[in-house]
Amino acid sequence: MTERAVTDRHVAVLAGGLSHEREVSLRSGRRVSAALREAGLVVEEWDADATLVTRLVEHRPAAVVVALHGGAGENGATQSVLEMLGVPYVGADPRACRRAWDKPCAKAELAQAGYATPNWIALPHATFRDLGARAVLDALITRLGLPLMLKPDQGGSALGAHVVREPDELPAAMVGCLAYGDTVLAERFVDGVEVAITVLEESDGPRALPAVEVDPGNGVYDYTARYTAGLTTFHAPARLDPGAAAAAGELAVAAHRLLGLRDFSRTDAVITPDGVAHFLEVNVAPGLTETSLLPMAVECAKSDLGSVFAALVERAVARGAS
Amino acid sequence: MTQAQQPERAPQRSLDPHLHRYARRTAGMTASQIRALFAVASRPEVVSLAGGMPYLPALPMESLAEEVARVVDSEGLTALQYGSAQGTVELREQICEVMALEGISAHPDDVTVTVGSQMALDMVTRIFCDPDDVVLAEAPSYVGALTTFASYQAQVVHVAMDDDGLVPAALRAALGSLRAQGRTPKFLYTVPNFHNPAGVTLAVPRRAEILEICAEHDVLVIEDNPYGLLGFEGQTYPALRACDPVNVVYLGSFSKTFAPGLRVGWALAPHAVREKLVLAAESATLCPPAFTQTVVSRYLATHDWKGQIKTYREAYRERRDAMLDALEHYLPGCTWTHPAGGFYVWLTVPEGLDTKAMLPRAVTQRVAYVPGTAFYADSLGSRQMRLSFCYPTAERITEGVRRLAAVLDGETELLATFGSVGPRAVSGPQAPSPDTA
């Protein structure tokens, strides 16, 4: 059992919301709330609904932990509201959230800084409609080659993500992907070891926790593989040689810094056999469920979720209202 | 070499240490992104046309509260105690009175009270089906039945329906085809009245024919009838069980005519079958809850329960009318059934559209429905969806259908861009759980 902190801080954990990831968010919220209570904090779990602003104003929590996945929890909207109300919160500010939330934007930042990321093209539905889907899809394949990873340019939990191995699979994958958003991110599929690297900020700056390796039983880390306990095998730390492990950590810290993130983040990457870490995306409100990767990394680092988030709450409180 | 040269440094971690122990029947019990989307449906911003939630605000809550208090006060020592595995005699007698409204003459000894009719269905499947046995079910069929059949590893063969319900010729054809394979189905599962999800009712002239065909092929009939008293004009139809007390097991429920939270249903079965049902039920739950049985008994004895059913019918008729009007107005390119009772409309969208694939777009537009594939064991139904009109107000139903029209417009535009792409596979359960509908 974690040693209880000497604090009666009143913390609000925001979870739920109206995004496609509501269910995962509710699970994350319950998990981090329990961990914070274990650490001695007074925690309330609030949905992001029409009562939220009133609650924030009336209850004035010492800090807010945003466990909202997708949409308003990660695109900076909720953080903007918290700043408007002068409520301290854990995590990145609205501007940084927006940069991380937009996957093509985040990839471009990393690529510009010299980090590897799979070649990509992001296109809205309107482009396919206006220029002719067949011609644009052909050009896409010519430019990026196959296999491809298609995903919505915003969002998480692999919702709408498809691996495309044959040209004739592409139209169906595009339609499936565009059901989740208006713009599709097409990425060259890079084969290698899938890892997630959690970054925590401490007094001496951001630090990468050991990478967690993801080994989905069916070969694809899709929604089912993510949230069905047992379908995916995890290795913490990842089975990487020291050089590759260091490269993964360096990439995650670089992503955290380049995008101006704060407190914590989780970078997803692929490590190719030559030891190069390829940036896929970074999450400002990563999953905190029983099957999520950040809690595994925390445990691998010999810490616990309650202590980590209690410390982040203290940082937020010390930082005060932005 | 990036892979571990010292694997002992990298402990392998499965989040389920019991993975190798599960029975094969759990194979489909996985997380599902479709099911996860229904979590949003519980938010008030979303018009949920997904769940079949009875309109409980129509119940007389104050007098029910008094009745429940009286049960605790005057009958607590029996109502809070274990009871008979078959259910209380008083309730079984009352159930016979309820069933008489649809022409069933039954003895209370042949009634087994269950935890909702879902449990009755589970018990029936348990006592009749071995793995790989075949059962017949309408196309489409109730999702809760399909999951039960899957959990007992039974194979479902669907039989076509039309606007008059199950098609006798299709039933003959299915039985003939199975016979050619040397297979005899264990039973036909059917929802004859105000079908879930199709909204249609088995025409009276077909009822005898369906029973004849089943008798001829030695196939038992499982008649599931939760909506039979919810005809919008007060009409009822002769139950299959009323015509054939030997070859029909009848499943009933108070979930739609009273309240689903009580979880009180029943099975009416021939003596020998009933004996096995009671033993199966006993192994599952020891006994149905004495408390909720007593509450239902008191309700039936002291309240105008027939008047309450009439109140429900009127509420649902108003909602059905609102839905049909809205569909007419907003979705001229679709076709749908015209239910004369019950909770559901079965909608067919234009060719090329996939109702499961467009559910995320619907959630974005703040409207929810159940994709048609949830109601088939064989992945059909990609052009269909079930729309429930039982719970939202007429105004909300109209708004929901308006939003649905925008969803279809968006999806149609995508198809115009990329061409027809066919149904897409998604694993895991595709229907909402009762608490997220």
User: ipTM of the assembly?
Assistant: 0.86
Q: Label residue B67 by pLDDT band (50, 70, 90).
A: very high
Strands (E), B53-183: 111-114, 134-139, 155-162, 165-166
Q: How many C-beta atoms surround the C-beta of residue B255 within 10 A?
A: 20
Q: Which residues of A touch B40 (CB under 8 A)?
A: 18-20, 22
More confident residue, A272 or A226: A272
Residues in chain A within 8 Å Cβ distance of B3: 193, 239-241
Determine the pLDDT at residue B40.
87
Residue identified by tokens 């400002």 is A284
CA nearest neighbour of A202 among A236, A269, A253 = A253
Q: Which two tokens stand for residue B115?
A: 């935890």
Widest distance between CA atoms in chain A: 64
- What pLDDT score does B26 carry? 84
Contact list, B358 vs chain A (CB under 8 Å): 179
- Bond before A61 cis per omega within 30 degrees: no
The residue count for chain A: 322
Higher-pLDDT residue of B425, B323: B323
Share of chain A above pLDDT 90, in %: 82
8 Å CB contact of A179 and B358? yes
Q: What is the mean pLDDT of chain A?
A: 93
Q: Number of Cβ pairs closer than 8 Å across A and B?
A: 139
Residues in chain A within 8 Å Cβ distance of B428: 224, 228
Nearest chain B residue to A291 by CA: give it.
B15
Residue of B nearest to A232 (CA): B14
Query: With an 8 Å Cβ cutoff, are A237 and B10 in contact?
Result: yes
Q: Do A224 and B428 touch (CB under 8 A)?
A: yes
- Distance between CA A71 and CA A117 in Å, rounded? 24
Q: List B residues 409-428 in contact with A (Cβ-Cβ < 8 A).
A: 411, 413-419, 421-422, 424, 427-428
Q: Tell me if B12 and A223 make a contact (CB, 8 A cut-off).
A: no
Q: Do B11 and A24 touch (CB under 8 A)?
A: no
In angstroms, rounded to a whole number, what is the distance separating the alpha carbons of residues B344 and B367?
16
Cβ–Cβ below 8 Å for A241 and B414:
no
* Mean pLDDT score, B219-228: 98
Q: Chain A closest CA to B208's CA: distance in Å?
A: 45
pLDDT the model gives residue B133: 97
For the segment B408-430, the average pLDDT, to the nearest whole number, is 78
Residues of B in contact with A160 (CB under 8 A): 360
Q: Which residues of A touch B1 (CB under 8 A)?
A: 241, 273
Nearest chain B CA: its distance from A27 CA (Å):
11
> What distance in Å separates residue A128's CA from the closest CA in chain B?
7
Q: What is the pLDDT of residue B39?
A: 84
Say yes or no for a CB contact (<8 Å) between A231 and B30.
Answer: yes
Q: What are the C-alpha distances in Å from B351 to residues A116, B159, B335?
A: 43, 22, 11
Do B359 and A179 lie within an 8 Å CB cutoff? Answer: yes
Q: Do A178 and B2 touch (CB under 8 A)?
A: no
Q: What is the mean pLDDT of residues B258-274?
A: 97
Q: Give, as one character, the DSSP assignment of residue A73.
A: G
B221-260 residues touching A, CB cutoff 8 A: none
Cβ contact, residue pair A133, B11, below 8 Å:
no
- Which residue in the set B3, B366, B421 is minimally distant from A239, CB to CB? B3
Measured distance CA(B232)–CA(A268) in Å, rounded: 56
Going by pLDDT thresholds of 50, 70 and 90, the confidence category of residue B421 is low
Question: B46 to chain A nearest CA, in Å?
Answer: 9
What percentage of chain B carries pLDDT values higher than 90?
Answer: 84
φ, ψ for residue B158 (rounded to 5)? Answer: -85, 150
**pLDDT at position B1:** 39
User: How near does any CA of chain A get to the CA of B18, in Å?
Assistant: 8
**In contact, A231 and A216? CB cutoff 8 Å:** yes
- CA of B421: which chain A residue's CA is closest? A172
Contact assignment for A175 to B15 by CB distance below 8 Å: no
Using CB atoms, which residue from B33, B358, B418 is nearest to A223? Answer: B33
Sheet holding A42-46, edge to edge: A42-46, A10-14, A63-66, A89-90
Any bridge partners for residue A270, and if so which? A194, A278
DSSP type of residue B59: S
Residue with tokens 């015209």: B338
Of A160-174, B30-44, B390-404, B414-428, which range is least confident? B414-428
Question: Which segment of A45-49, A224-228, B115-119, B415-419 scores lowest on mean pLDDT?
Answer: A224-228
Query: Are residues B148 and B118 in contact, defined by beta-carbon separation less than 8 angstroms?
Result: yes
Residue pLDDT, tens place only, B29-56: 777 777 778 888 888 999 999 989 999 9
Contacts of B359 in chain A (CB under 8 A): 179
- Average pLDDT score, chain B: 92
pLDDT of residue B230: 98
Taking only the tens place, the pLDDT of each residue in A127-155 is 999 999 999 999 999 999 999 999 998 87
The pLDDT of residue B422 is: 61
- The B residues from 320 to 379 touching A (CB cutoff 8 Å) are 354, 357-361, 363-364, 366
Phi first, then psi: what are they for B54, rounded to 5°?
Answer: -55, 150
Q: How far is A20 from chain B (nearest CA, A)?
A: 6
pLDDT of residue B426: 57
Active-site amino acid positions of A? 21, 157, 227, 266, 268, 281, 283, 287
3-state helix, strand, coil in chain B (%, to 5): 45, 15, 40
Looking at the DSSP bridge assignments, the partners of residue A279 are A269
Is the bond preceding B226 in cis, omega lying within 30 degrees of 0? no
Å between B13 CA and nearest CA of chain A? 5
Which residue in A224, A239, A271 is closest to B427 by CB distance?
A224
User: A102: phi > 0 → left, psi -120 to 50 → alpha, else beta; which?
Assistant: beta
The mean pLDDT of A170-195, rounded to a whole number, is 93
B171-202: pLDDT as tens digits: 999 999 999 999 999 999 999 999 999 999 99
User: Which among B15, B30, B357 is the nearest to A175, CB-wise?
Assistant: B357
User: How close does chain A come to B10, measured CA to CA in Å?
Assistant: 5
By Cβ distance, the residue of B2, B9, B32 closest to A193 is B2
pLDDT at B5 over 50: no
* Torsion angle defined by CA atoms of residues B357, B362, B364 and B367, in that order, rounded to the nearest 10 degrees: -150
CA dist., res. B248 & res. B238, Å (int) = 13
Find residue A196's DSSP bridge partners: A212, A268
Does residue B12 surpass a pLDDT of 80?
A: no
User: Which residue among B16, B354, B360 places its CB closest to the CB of A159?
Assistant: B360
Q: What confidence category does residue B436 fall into, taking pLDDT thresholds of 50, 70 and 90? A: very low
Nearest to B430 by CA among B367, B385, B366, B364: B385
Tell me the sheet residues that pair with A207: A200
Query: What is B161-201 written as a DSSP string?
Result: EETTEE-HHHHHHHHHHHHHTT---SEEEE--SS-TTT---
Residues from chain B that touch A223, judged by Cβ atoms under 8 A, are 31-33, 36
- Do the Cβ atoms of B179 and B217 come closer than 8 Å? yes
- Is there a cis peptide before residue B168, judged by omega within 30 degrees of 0? no
Q: Find all residues with CB under 8 Å of A152, minimum gap 6, and list them.
A: A159, A160, A161, A177, A178, A180, A181, A183, A184, A185
| Average of per-residue pLDDT across A263-280 | 97
Is B8 at the interface with chain A, CB within 8 A? no
Of A129, A238, A290, the CB nearest to B417: A129
| Predicted structure pTM score | 0.90
Contact A236 B366 (CB under 8 A): no
Residue B18, chain A, CB below 8 Å: the answer is: yes
B360/A223 Cβ within 8 A: no
Residue B181 in contact with partner chain A when CB distance is under 8 A:
no
Chain A: closest CA distance from residue B352 (Å): 11
More confident residue, A185 or A217: A185
Interchain proximity A180–B360, CB inside 8 Å: yes
Chain A partners of B366 at a C-beta cutoff of 8 Å?
A: 18
For B421, which of A171, A234, A237 is closest by C-beta distance?
Answer: A171
Task: Give the contacts of B373 (CB within 8 A, at least 6 positions apart).
Answer: B355, B356, B379, B380, B381, B382, B423, B430
Contact at CB, A273 and B2, closer than 8 angstroms = yes
Per DSSP, the residues of B269-297 read --HHHHHHHHHHHHHHHSS--HHHHHHHH
